[in-house]
Amino acid sequence: MGVIPPAPGKGFQWCTDRLKIAPLNSKMTEILKQQPVIIPEPEYNHRLTLLLGVRLDESIKRAASIKRHTSNDFFGEHDYIPNSRVFHAVRDISTDDTWNFLRYKSKELPWGMPVENLEAMYGGSNIKECPVIRSKKELNKSCGNTRTGCWVCLLGGRKDKMLQELIDSGDESVTYLADWKEFLFDVTFDCRYKDPIKGIKEIEKRVQKHSNKGFLDNPALWHEDEFNRYIDDYKAYERATKGNEKGEYDPGKFSFEMRRMLLEKLFYAQEMAGYTLISDEEVLLIIQEWSNEGYSVALEELKPINHHFDGAVVLKRDWTINVKETTNKNPIFFVEIPLNMPASELAVYHKERQRLTGKSIFCFYSHADYSHAKMVFNTATFLVCKEDILTQAEAASNVYEWLYLEGHNTTGIDGKPFKKMTKEARNAALNHLMIDTLGGAIKSVDERIGSMKNQPVNLKTHSDEEIAKLSRRWSLLQKWIRIEKENHIEQNEKIKKINCNQ
């Protein structure tokens, strides 16, 4: 919940490789390096033997896997580590003999678990296993869902068979673990809880580097006239693009909001189950990771909460709603907000809102480009789907609240609390209002210039005076936008000083 890895799946069992195969191979290689060199080399130069506790009776697939790698003497060559062999000491022991040995040899396993608990997890002595996985080559061939080593693993699907066996055997405490796992499964592909911003640290470094440039680095100082300045600004404007490099829906990790919900729900499951599911050290490491990302949360703020899920909203790669996978019954709205910020600054502002509010509204970025009028600005389109939002106007209001007001509460001179805009939010709101107000005028000028450019041959159907007049109108419009923005900022600074003096 600090940094949540991707869920494994068939063909993507990264955890088996990283947590099992890679460490084992690393240790085997280390041991081999420590072995003495024998001269001359023996005919069978096996300098390391790996013992595997696998049996033919576990499953048909397991039996085939063992036979493929061993001979009649219980030994076999290791797949890809030279001078190594494997030894299957319990290869021919049946499932019944295995359980009988465990039942009557000892009532308790070496790590403290009663044998009857293990048998309950496996659903009795008849349960079968999957083929042994000893290499990356065999990783994709595993059946994978008879059991899993990690109770939080989603590889076996929403319903965990082993957890269900424990519940059916009368262990009610496990119901809270199963509920948490089902919650995790349900939210995994919900776009509302995915972070739309990838690589934010590099983006923030880039924006900071740009803001550190000196006054004389401003290219606007070196233009002879307003017209050329805006032409160059148009060309250099950092346009936001939708999705990945192919324009596809490709979200980032879980949002901070969801990661906090998962931790709080885990606290609830731990409290109700009555045993430790997450250590204090792990919790502190999660909080530290959140802090590294810019989210400030004190340990005492985290409480056991049984969060419930209202159903997923799932998008396809082409950004359309995946009707088959979407289970949320609430209406879905898209709210487009024009924000005249370069793409990097837009991403940084979005991340600042996430940090300030502790919440996130999923969105995708794009830009509106008026190529004839040489005007361009970026946009953010937010997806809103909540139980209490039933109209487009309510959805827009929800976005405005989060984008500009929420997260910065203060107290007025009357002693009453109110929501106050940050400086960045105020500037973003001004940009939004200006672009929104002038949208019609910009479109009109763009279409007018476009119609002149599209004349078949003779541009002289418009006089030089008419073209010059239209050009001046366009330049004045651009200049007016800049002046109005500066006036609004100056006016707000004056209001801010008056409020401070009061």
- Specify the pLDDT at position 482: 61
Per-residue pLDDT tens for 11-30?
677 788 888 888 998 999 99
- Give the whole-angstrom CA distance, residue 266 versus residue 262: 6
Per-residue pLDDT tens for 223-279?
566 667 777 778 888 899 998 888 899 888 899 999 999 999 999 999 999 999 999
109 token code pair: 């396993």
Tell me the helices (H) and strands (E) count for the chain, helix number first.
15, 8
Is the separation of the CB atoms in 455 and 467 below 8 Å?
Answer: no
- Specify the pLDDT at position 436: 83
- Specify the pLDDT at position 134: 45
- Specify the pLDDT at position 45: 73
- Specify the pLDDT at position 143: 46
Residue stretches of the chain with pLDDT short of 70: 1, 9-11, 123-149, 209-227, 407-418, 452-502
- Give the whole-angstrom CA distance, residue 368 versus residue 436: 12
- Specify the pLDDT at position 204: 72
Residue 133: name the closest of 31, 27, 25 by CA. 25
- Specify the pLDDT at position 136: 46
- Give the whole-angstrom CA distance, residue 351 versus residue 359: 10
- Specify the pLDDT at position 36: 81
Question: In terms of C-beta distances under 8 Å and separation of at least 24 residues, what long-range contacts does 343-346 make, across chains too?
Answer: 343/238, 343/239, 343/240, 343/241, 343/367, 343/378, 344/203, 344/206, 344/207, 344/210, 344/238, 345/207, 346/240, 346/378, 346/380
Specify the pTM.
0.76
Helix 226-236 / helix 464-501 crossing angle, nearest 10 deg: 80
Q: How many CB atoms lie within 10 A of CB 469?
A: 12
167 residue type, one letter: I
